[in-house]
Amino acid sequence: MIDDLQVSTTTTYSSNKVVTLLDALKADILGGADPAYDTLLELQQALQNDQSGIAALTAAIDKRVRFDAAQTLTVLEQQQARTNIGAVAATDIGDVATDFVAIFEAALV
C-alpha cells in the first residue's frame, strides 16, 4: 500500500515521493554548490588542477604559530608573533630564573 504521508511496516512512499526526498537530500548535501562542483569527481579534479593554490594554502598554514608543538622560527617570525599577541621576549623581561619574591621577603626580615 502506498502512503506518502507516512511509512510503516505495511506501507511505502510512492516513487514520486522517494525521488522528491532524494532530490532534497542531494540539495542539502550540495548546499548550493555550483554545478561545476556538485560531484566528488569534480571536486577531486578541481583540487588536482590547482596545485599552486593548494601549495599556497599549505605554505600559509605552515606559517602559523603553533600552541600544540614546538617550532623553529626565525628572529623576525618570533618578533612578529609576539607583536601579534602582545607578548614580550624572555630577554626583554630579564633574569627569569631568579626568585625575586624570595629575595625581597628575605630582605624584609
Q: Residue-wise pLDDT tens for the chain (109 aa)? A: 888 888 788 889 899 999 999 999 988 888 888 888 878 888 888 888 888 888 888 888 888 888 898 989 999 999 999 999 999 888 888 777 889 899 999 999 8
50, 42 Cβ separation under 8 angstroms: no
Q: Which residues contact 42 (CB under 8 A, 6 or more apart)?
A: 36
